[in-house]
Amino acid sequence: MAKAERIEINKKWCKGCEICVELCPTNALEMVDFKVAVKDLEKCIACMQCELRCPDFAIVVYKKEKE
């Protein structure tokens, strides 16, 4: 299973629509003060659903290179 090395969130651009949080298949993201935040990076499977469907260019997922 792919993993994420890190997830960058641009809080200035995030409008808090929650699309990413709700579409995340592994519950790795959460809302904190109306903005997206990483809840558990370990859970992330780097499926890129959140990045792909973030309308605000606010999430970037960096996949872990295969070990």
* Beta carbons within 8 Å of 34's beta carbon, 6+ residues apart: 16
Q: Which of residues 4-23 bind other proteins (CB under 8 A)?
A: 12-13, 15-19, 22-23
* Residue 45 in contact with other proteins, rule: CB under 8 A: no
* Residue 25 in contact with other proteins, rule: CB under 8 A: no
Q: How many residues does the chain have?
A: 67
Compute the least distance from the CB of residue 13 to other proteins, in Å: 4
* Beta carbons within 8 Å of 63's beta carbon, 6+ residues apart: 2, 3, 4, 5, 46
Residues that bind other proteins (CB under 8 A): 12-13, 15-19, 22-23, 51-57, 60-63
